[in-house]
């Protein structure tokens, strides 16, 4: 087991290096001169060759490509991701630290909504298979999966924020600000997990252990909750774990619609402003999150499932 964990950890290192190199390459491949971009987004009205040369020196762009990459990776390892082009007084690390709590708050709230709604609904759909509740929920799932988050967000804002005046349409600060964006982010995940839990439960209901439990005369409630639901949750927990980085990266559009000051808003404004160091670090951060959560849940699954442990 220890060997497996060490091996997986070691395998993650080249993967992270590849991610960092790809991030760096993509940004470097952009045809425009980043020094000129930096000057333009600082609204320098006329950009002279001297100003470009000065900015190139300031940003270290006059060094060879590989030297810049190594400098950047070494900087990243020390928590130094460079400075923002938009506001040179701010560091990229500082910007990420500033925006991360709001995104974690939104992703966390969405995750809770997903868990609280999808497990009971998925459970009820499974035990009332093809009943009216199951049919209605399947219809809702079908519609909500097809609706883009941007549109759902605007509809909620118009209905609940403008017409009913129950909740603020934008910004953050109180729990009331959190409800609409969190629900918008959660909606597509709720649909996914309801389907997953329902199907897993239906699969488990056909298993021999359920038949055996029925033969033993165990109460139905106990069979459904202690055995079927518990066994169905194995794959769901891994999938939910893996959806945490997805939730963090998936808040981009919703944050922008609801003016939620998190990483997504930072990323969108950085894309519009061509703030390359921020975009580069954001992509790297999301890549690292996926690798780390993948690793973590693979290890957790191996620890919890003796069959996998034996294989590894």
228: contact with another protein by CB under 8 A: no
Q: How many CB atoms lie within 10 A of CB 110?
A: 26
Strands (E) across 5-67 are located at none
Q: CA-to-CA distance for 199 and 220, rounded, in angstroms?
A: 19
Tell me whether residue 172 or residue 302 sits nearer to another protein (CB atom): 172
**Residue 10 CB, nearest approach to another protein (Å):** 35
**Residue 113 CB, nearest approach to another protein (Å):** 8
For another protein, the binding residues in 258-277 under the rule CB under 8 A are 258-259, 261, 265-266, 268-269, 274
**Residue 155 CB, nearest approach to another protein (Å):** 11
Instruction: Mark 129-168 with x for binding to another protein (rule: CB under 8 A) and - for no binding.
Output: -------------------------x--xx--xx--x--x
Count of helix runs (H) and strand runs (E) in the chain:
15, 0
| CB hemisphere CA count around 196 (13 angstroms) | 20
Stretch that binds another protein, among 42-50, 124-132, 188-196, 281-289 (CB under 8 A): 42-50
DSSP 168: -
How many positions of this chain bind another protein (CB under 8 A)? Answer: 58
Q: How many CB atoms lie within 10 A of CB 5?
A: 15
User: Taking a C-beta distance cutoff of 8 angstroms, is the pair 12, 291 a contact?
Assistant: yes
Residue 60 Rama label (left phi>0; alpha psi -120 to 50; beta): left
Q: CA-to-CA distance for 262 and 207, rounded, in angstroms?
A: 45
For another protein, the binding residues in 105-134 under the rule CB under 8 A are 105, 108-109, 112-113, 115-116
Please provide the distance, in angstroms rounded to a whole number, between the alpha carbons at the two ends of the chain.
Answer: 7
Provide the binding-site residues for another protein, judged by CB under 8 A. 31-33, 36-37, 40-46, 48, 50-51, 86-89, 98-99, 101-102, 105, 108-109, 112-113, 115-116, 154, 157-158, 161-162, 165, 168-175, 177-178, 221, 225, 256-259, 261, 265-266, 268-269, 274
């Amino acid at each position: 087991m220890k060997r497996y964990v060490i091996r997986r950890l070691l395998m993650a290192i080249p993967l992270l290096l590849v991610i960092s190199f790809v991030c760096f390459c993509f940004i470097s491949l952009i045809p425009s001169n980043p020094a000129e971009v930096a000057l333009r987004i600082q609204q320098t009205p006329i950009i002279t060759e001297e100003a470009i040369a000065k900015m190139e020196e300031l940003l270290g762009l006059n060094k060879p490509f590989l030297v810049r990459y190594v400098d950047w990776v070494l900087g990243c390892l020390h928590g130094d991701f460079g400075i923002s082009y938009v506001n040179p007084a701010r560091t990229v690390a500082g910007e990420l630290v500033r925006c991360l709590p709001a995104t974690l708050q939104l992703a966390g709230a969405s995750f809770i909504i997903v868990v609280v709604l999808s497990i009971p609904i998925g459970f009820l759909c499974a035990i009332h298979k093809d009943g009216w509740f199951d049919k209605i929920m399947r219809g809702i799932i079908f519609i909500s999966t097809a609706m883009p988050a941007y549109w759902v967000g605007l509809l909620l804002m118009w209905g609940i924020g403008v017409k009913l005046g129950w909740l603020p349409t934008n910004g953050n600060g109180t729990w009331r600000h959190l409800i609409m964006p969190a629900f918008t982010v959660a909606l597509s995940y709720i649909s996914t997990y309801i389907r997953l839990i329902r199907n897993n439960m239906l699969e488990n209901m056909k298993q021999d252990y359920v038949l055996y439990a029925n033969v033993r005369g165990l109460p139905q409630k106990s069979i459904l909750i202690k055995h079927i639901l518990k066994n169905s949750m194995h794959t769901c927990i891994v999938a939910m774990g893996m959806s945490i980085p997805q939730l963090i990266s998936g808040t981009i559009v919703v944050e922008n619609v609801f003016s939620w000051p998190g990483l997504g808003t930072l990323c969108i404004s950085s894309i519009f402003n061509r703030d390359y160091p921020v975009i580069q670090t954001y992509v790297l951060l999301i890549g690292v999150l996926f690798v780390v959560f993948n690793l973590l849940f693979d290890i957790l699954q191996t620890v919890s499932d003796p069959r996998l442990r034996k294989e590894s």
